[in-house]
Amino acid sequence: MVKAVKGTIIECDTSVKQIIIGLNEKYQFIIEDLDDTHVYIDTTYVEQLRHDIDEILNENTYKVEEKDQK
C-alpha cells in the first residue's frame, strides 16, 4: 500500500541545508533528505523555517558601519 505525504521541496545551497538540518533537530520537519541541494519538508513548517533561516543568516552577516565624515 502506497502512502502519500503532503510536503514542500526546498532547494538551497549546501550551507543553508546544514542550517535546515540543524533546525530539524528542534522541529522534526524533514520528511526526506533528497540530495545535496534539496530537502522535502512538512508544508506546515515552511514559514517557521523561512523565519528561522533569515534570523540565523542575519546574525552571521558582517555589517560595515560607516563613520561620519566631518
Q: What's the whole-model pTM score?
A: 0.78
pLDDT tens sequence across 2-29: 888 899 999 999 999 999 999 999 999 9
What span, in angstroms and rounded, lies between the C-alpha atoms of 20 and 24? 6
Q: Would you list the domain boundaries of the chain?
A: 8-66
pLDDT at 33 exceeding the cut of 90: yes
Sign of CA dihedral 43, 47, 52, 55: positive
66 has a pLDDT exceeding 90: no
Quick one: CATH architecture of 8-66? 2-Layer Sandwich (3.30)
Rounded distance between C-alpha atoms, residue 10 and residue 68, angstroms: 42
pLDDT band at 61 (very low <50, low <70, confident <90, very high): confident
